[in-house]
Amino acid sequence: MSGFDLSGLTASFGGERVIGPLSLKVNDGEQVALVGKSGAGKSTLIRLVHEHVGRESSLVPQELGLVNALPVFHNVFMGQLDRHPTWYNTLSLIRPFSADRSSIKALLKALGMPEKLWTPTASLSGGQRQRVAIARAIYRNAGLLLADEPVSALDGPLAHLVMNELKKRFATSVIALHDVDLALKYCNRIIGIQDGQVALDEHSERLTSADIMALY
């Protein structure tokens, strides 16, 4: 599965409704940017979709969810933990298999940090940590990418490099982005969220950044 069709999505905090009820249908091949001002509900919507599609997706959460005590290799390897038997995962913790070592190294190279394979995650910069979470999602290789501000800590050229990789590797995606130009360049459908509702839903080529800025 890569696309999904969900309805009746709602979320509340402390009795206050912050999402929905709304429906969201994403077809295979749609690369969706979720845009909208801070607090509109983008992260909550991504969490809701993830709760429904679960293991069928590759997730990059805003808070990253890395294990600081482990090197980069192991954090990326975690993307496939549920695909291997326990003995394989246990052995990989002590002495990783060469096939996994080389595929994770190649992935880090594509993301511009090949030399960090064995670096403890705790000693990485914010942008490097963000790319480890992205590498973990790519390594998981699910049909659907769910990503919450995946390039917020990256400078211009690196943000483009990473968005390009994500576009190439995931035909179907939902990505919360605060950068409207990145949304228009790398996604083919734009969904604008306002007060927990869909306020805009349009093909990228029919929109300008000014159309999207009206949401802010």
- 130 interacts with ligand ATP by CB under 6 A: no
What is the Cα–Cα distance from 83 to 73, expressed in whole angstroms?
16
- Find the largest Cα–Cα distance for the chain: 54
Q: 74 or 129: whose CB is closer to ligand ATP?
A: 129
Cβ nearer to ligand ATP, comparing 34 with 113: 34
Query: Interface with ligand ATP includes 36 (CB under 6 A)?
Result: yes
| Least Å from the CB of residue 202 to ligand ATP | 19
Distance from C-alpha of 138 to C-alpha of 176, rounded to nearest angstrom: 17
- Separation in Å, CA 47 to CA 27, 63, 174: 19, 12, 11
Contacting ligand ATP (CB under 6 A), which of 24, 42, 75, 136? 42
Residue 76: CB atoms within 10 Å: 30
- Residue 39 touches ligand ATP, criterion: CB under 6 A: yes
Query: How open is the CA angle 148-154-181, to the nearest 5 degrees?
Result: 70
Number of residues that bind ligand ATP (CB under 6 A): 10
- Minimum separation from the CB atom of position 147 to ligand ATP (A): 12
Closest CA to 18 of 208, 194, 216: 194
Comparing CB distances to ligand ATP, the nearer of 24 and 40 is 40
- 204 near ligand ATP, rule: CB under 6 A: no
- Write the interaction track for ligand ATP spanning residues 62-101; mark x where CB under 6 A is met and - where it is not: ----------------------------------------
Choose one: 41-49, 70-78, 96-104, 199-207; the region binding ligand ATP (CB under 6 A): 41-49
3-state secondary structure 121-166: HHHCCHHHHHHHHHHHHHHHCCCEEEEECCCCCCCHHHHHHHHHHH
Q: Is 114 in the site for ligand ATP (CB under 6 A)?
A: no
Cα end-to-end span (Å), the chain: 33
Q: Which stretch binds ligand ATP (CB under 6 A): 39-47, 76-84, 91-99, 102-110?
A: 39-47
Q: Sign of torsion, CA 206 52 49 89?
A: negative
Which residue in 9, 26, 35, 40 binds ligand ATP (CB under 6 A)?
A: 40
Check the CA dihedral 192-198-203-207 and report its sign: negative
In whole angstroms, how close is the CB of 44 to ligand ATP at the nearest point? Answer: 3
Q: Give the footprint of ligand ATP on this chain (CB under 6 A).
A: 13, 18, 36, 38-44
